[in-house]
Amino acid sequence: MFNNSTQYKPSQMIHNRRYEFPWNLFGTRLVLFLLAATLPCPTMLGQSTGTNVLLICVDDLRPELNSFGATHIHSPNIDDLAKAGRAFARHYVNAPSCGPSRYTLLTGLYGPGDNNALFKRTRGVLSSVHSRYSPVGLPSMPDLFKNNGYRTVSVGKVSHHPGGMGGEGWDDEKYTEIPGAWDEHLMPTGPWQHPRGAMHGLANGEIRSDDKKMAVMQSTPGPDTTYPDGLITNEAIEQIEKLSEQEKPFFLAVGLIRPHLPFGAPKKYMSHYSDVELPSIPHPEKPEGKTTWHKSGEFMRYFRDGKDPREDAQYADQVRRHYAACVSYADAQVGRIVKSLRASPAAENTIIVLWGDHGWHLGEHSVWGKHTLFEESLHSPLIIVSPKVNQPGKQTQAMVSTADIFPTLCELTEIEIPDFTVGQSLVPQLKDPDAPGHDVVAYHRGRTTLRTETHRLILGENGHLELYDHTAAGETKNIADANPQMVEELSAQLTKALESRWTK
């Protein structure tokens, strides 16, 4: 039975979608998996061990963290996860945008390359925006765990819309990204009124109505709840306390909004960056010729007092410090969530996954934003904490992708891996940090790319080609014309890899 209700709590409003299904009871082992949202399916594909999962998704997070080599960043809580598990230094997303990247995370498939991806897919057939999934469609990741006896709960931005609904305020149950997958789909909104308001909110309930009038960055004194992620974290902690006391295993996904634009965080997090020396921006020049470069429209539409980080080095420095403060704010929320888990009865039986939904340019290639097929948009952090990890704390250089997370969580919890998933389980890399990875494909707005150990190929529209050598000049010199045979071979590999994109 489906029931939608709106609950009010002090300083917050929760959009709460509840789904009641019969459950199979399993053990109480916990997998702490940071990340989730999915499709409906009535078929049980395997029998789980009952290990709980906690998934934490962080929006627009570059792999610019202390544990990933960025010593100027204050990220102690994420760094502690890296020490406890396996950090994937070469994790790439399959799309440089929130919606399609989360689509792949939650479905295990390549799919539509736009932010409405989770509203649009029905067994490989694209339909109108805000249409529902077919009840006989392929199971999403939360569907699969639910069908194997898990209680599935989502808090914050796990799918593209925080709370998983559409409509004007992103709170209309008629428009649902993955209907039936979550027993509870929660989005605390507090003074921001609705999920759309919280998604682009600034301090103390400020809602974006006119982009040009909203500051692109802000640092306001106050507690963590001064900005929306404080409320999301409070709700996540409450869910951990409830779920860890239940007999059923759980799949809890928590989605933090920062460091997504606008770059607003409590002032205390800016204190980490008041005097720190920032590294220089690598290859800050606009690329020559036709490339995946763009005009940074998402960033430029906010109020900037007439300043442009592409032309003003001092302003660029200021933007980078505000982004870093947002990273530290998100890191603090991760710390609160993990601390709550470790204090709970589920602490000894938990797999933790922390995932960034894509990267973000901070001036590289003269871009301030995402939405390119360059390295900076597609490279993001991934950390998995599991009893299966040998040599915890040792980073792996294996190249992997977001599509690999779905089958990995299945194998870790002993659920049969569905045959439709396009990724590969990362359990070999968890057992051996030196285990090899694989090439990674990605796509955006009619363009596709293949990243190998040594090169990146980009296939643009109308036959446009880019080939970059990561053993030499990196993504600064297009060598496609001088290497026709390599272009042909990699193009064939990329085309074959994406054959399943619209058909599964």
pLDDT digits (tens, 9 = 90+) for 268-311: 999 999 999 999 999 999 998 889 899 999 999 999 999 999 99
Identical fold at 2-439 and 446-504? Answer: no
What is the percentage of the chain residues whose pLDDT exceeds 90? 79
Domain boundaries defined on the chain: 2-439, 446-504
Residue 27 has pLDDT above 60, yes or no: no
CATH topology of domain 446-504: Arylsulfatase, C-terminal domain (3.30.1120)
Pairing of strands 121-122, 263-266: unpaired
Question: Mapping DSSP to helix (H, G, I), strand (E, B) and coil, where does residue 407 land?
Answer: helix
Alpha-carbon distance 449 to 480, whole Å?
13
**259 upstream amide cis, omega within 30 of 0:** yes
Q: What is the pLDDT of residues 73-91, one digit of tens each?
A: 999 999 999 999 999 999 9
> Residues 154-199: pLDDT tens digits?
999 999 999 999 999 999 988 889 888 999 999 999 999 999 999 9
CB of 413 closer than 8 Å to CB of 122: no
For the domain made up of 2-439, the CATH class stated in words is alpha beta
Decide: helix, strand or coil at residue 239: helix
pLDDT at residue 77, as a whole number:
98
Tokens of 397: 């250089």
Distance CA 387, CA 490 (A): 37
Tell me if the pTM is above 0.95.
Answer: no
C-beta of residue 188 within 8 angstroms of C-beta of residue 235: yes
Q: Does 31 score more than 60 pLDDT?
A: no
What is the Cα–Cα distance from 432 to 439, expressed in whole angstroms?
A: 18
Residue of 155, 86, 89 lying closest to 352 (CA atoms): 86
Q: Is the peptide bond before 262 cis (omega within 30 degrees of 0)?
A: yes
Q: In terms of Cα–Cα distance, which of 434, 73, 92, 131 is closest to 273?
A: 73
Choice among 17-21, 209-213, 433-437 with the minimum mean pLDDT: 17-21
Amino acid residing at 269: Y
**pLDDT tens-digit readout, 387-402:** 999 999 999 999 999 9
**What secondary structure, in 3-state letters, does 394-451 show?**
CCEEEEEEHHHHHHHHHHHCCCCCCCCCCCCCCHHHHHCCCCCCCCEEEEECCEEEEE
What is residue 116's predicted lDDT score, i.e. its pLDDT?
Answer: 81
| Residues present in the chain in total | 504
Query: Does 23 have pLDDT greater than 80?
Result: no
